[in-house]
Amino acid sequence: MLKLMYITNRPEIAQVAEAAGVDRIFVDMEFIGKDERQKGLDTVKSHHTIQDVASIKSAVEMAEVLVRVNPIHDPLPDYPGSREEIDATVAAGADIIMLPFFKTKQEVQTFLDLVDGRARTMLLLETPEAVEHIDEILELPGIDEVHIGLNDLSLGYGLPFMFQLLADGTVEHLCFKLRQKNIFYGFGGIASLGNGLLPSEYIIREHYRLGSRCVILSRSFCDVTKVRHIGIINAMFLKGVREIRELEETCELHAGFFRRNLQELRDRVKEICAQAEAEE
């Protein structure tokens, strides 16, 4: 089964997600450079804090706490550098620490040195430069997991739709390399079943075809900025996670239809991109 991850800094939402079967609560502290590269896009910009890490860690019992720190950086006038940020993240109880938007082997080595085995390490592979140097990066010891970030990676390649990276073989190529190194990996995010411009069913089936092990539940899976009633949020999580798990059972039983799903996915992506171009 895929490890499901959900971004929140609200302890009560973390508990609802955990009770519904979400495996990892994702605290997102990244803000450096994010607004600039995602300017004008309707993406999640959380800017959670160290206090949020501690609060979420105290709130959950079974779920792991995943924390996305900032890219490797020197101290800013009002924010500590990477060493202090990572030390504080470890002290607050992070089980897994994620490095975003890296481009070089040296950045990854610095990150691994700073974590120093005190938490699991996850690389967020989301730049063309990192893809170009992926072989030498994966030679580094101490990389526990890699998540392929489709949004920023598609922006880096100048693509209008992030799931083109699934259709054109880029994700498959990277998954093959990660599998060769026996590194735990996942990619992208999903909405609840039946939702999303590219329905989540197609994406989940690709996770199984490619041997992926984890996925982020996107904001549209349950947008708690729009749904306020905790009972409704709870029902949405229970229904959404249950439907994902039921689909996963069919994926495990019927692995043979993955090739057909890939072709259908490619056709749908092609249609979406053609429509987007026609509307420009």
Domains and CATH numbers, the chain: 3-279 (3.20.20.60)
- If you average pLDDT over residues 200-229, what whole number do you get? 93
Nearest to 202 by CA among 148, 153, 268: 268
Lookup: tokens for 35: 């607004």
For residues 280 and 276, what is the distance between their CA atoms, to the nearest angstrom? Answer: 7
What strands lie across the sheet with 3-7, from one edge to the other?
A: 184-187, 145-148, 120-125, 96-99, 64-68, 24-28, 3-7, 214-217, 189-190
Q: What percent of the chain has pLDDT over 70?
A: 95
What does the DSSP 8-state code read for residue 165? H
Nearest to 265 by CA among 161, 186, 178, 177: 161
Residue 135 three-state SS: helix
Q: Quote the pLDDT of residue 259.
A: 72
Q: Model confidence at 196, in pLDDT bands (50, 70, 90)?
A: confident
Q: Are 190 and 218 in contact (CB under 8 A)?
A: yes
Helix axes 200-210, 230-253, angle to 10 degrees: 50
What residue spans of 145-280 are helical by DSSP H? Answer: 150-156, 164-167, 170-180, 200-210, 230-253, 258-279
Q: Model confidence at 5, in pLDDT bands (50, 70, 90)?
A: very high
Over residues 237-260, the pLDDT tens digits come to: 999 999 999 999 988 777 667 777
Q: Quote the pLDDT of residue 256.
A: 62
Q: Quote the pLDDT of residue 260.
A: 77
Q: Model confidence at 264, in pLDDT bands (50, 70, 90)?
A: confident
Lookup: tokens for 178: 């990660």
Q: Model confidence at 140, in pLDDT bands (50, 70, 90)?
A: very high
pLDDT over threshold 90, residue 203: yes
> In this structure, which amino acid lies at residue 122?
M
pTM, to two decimals: 0.91
Q: Quote the pLDDT of residue 38.
A: 60
Q: Quote the pLDDT of residue 18.
A: 98
For residues 58 and 130, what is the distance between their CA atoms, to the nearest angstrom? Answer: 35
Q: Quote the pLDDT of residue 262.
A: 80
Over residues 72-130, the pLDDT tens digits come to: 999 999 999 999 999 999 999 999 999 999 999 999 999 999 999 999 999 999 999 99
If one counts every other C-beta atom within 10 angstroms of the C-beta of residue 230, the result is: 13
- If you average pLDDT over residues 227-236, what whole number do you get? 94
Q: Using alpha carbons only, what angle is made at residue 203 by residues 199 and 204, rounded to the nearest 5 degrees?
A: 110
pLDDT over threshold 70, residue 190: yes
Over residues 32-54, the pLDDT tens digits come to: 987 776 665 555 556 899 999 99
Mean pLDDT of the chain: 93
Minimum mean pLDDT range among 19-28, 118-127, 188-197: 188-197
CA dihedral 172, 175, 180, 181 (to 10 degrees): 160
